[in-house]
Amino acid sequence: MEKRWLREVYDFKLSEESAVLYNQIIVIGTTQNRAENDFRLLKVIN
């Protein structure tokens, strides 16, 4: 599944031993129909 509706704005640097896989600021939506605010997207090892 392609995520054309997610666009990465900023990718935070993580340490090697972190339980966080990625930590990003993203914009949700298409060019013509997007959210007004940026969101933080985290993926962690559970």
Residue range 9-45, pLDDT digits in tens: 999 999 999 999 999 999 999 888 999 999 999 999 9
Amino acid letter for position 34: R
Contact predicate 40/32, CB 8 Å: no
Domain ranges of the chain: 6-44
User: How do beta strands 6-11 and 20-28 pair?
Assistant: antiparallel
pTM attached to this predicted model? 0.76
Percent of the chain residues past pLDDT 90, beyond the cut: 74
pLDDT of residue 1 exceeding 70: no
